[in-house]
Amino acid sequence: KLQKEKADQQDMLAAMDLKADKAALDNKVDCSQFEENMELLDDRMEELQSQISDQNQHWNTVQQQFSDALEEKLDRQELKAFRKRQDEAWLRNIENFEKRLLGDTGAGIKK
């Protein structure tokens, strides 16, 4: 009965290998040190998120200014139509000026 219930030497050695030895515990990180480092990491991540948020706001502002500036500009079709009207008005004014300059002054002309 004792031989059946007594622990097997192989099982005992396997169980001892599973337990942490003191040298391995010395290499482990202290819990308070780990928490301190995690808090520092969390603070740094919040700072980075704040910087990214600020950059995002700045980018949106610049993009809105650029969009507003583009809306204020004439597009090419409007510019072509405006130039055509200006050219036509310029030619009409030149023709009217030439007619007045070369036209009848009201004085009689003798042959």
Over residues 48-72, mean pLDDT: 88
Give yes or no for residue 20 having a pLDDT over 60. no
Q: pLDDT digit string (tens) for 21-56?
A: 655 666 676 778 888 999 999 999 999 999 998 998
**73: alpha, beta or left, given left = phi > 0 and alpha = psi -120 to 50?**
beta
Residue 98, both tokens: 């030439």
Query: What value does the mean pLDDT of the chain take?
Result: 78
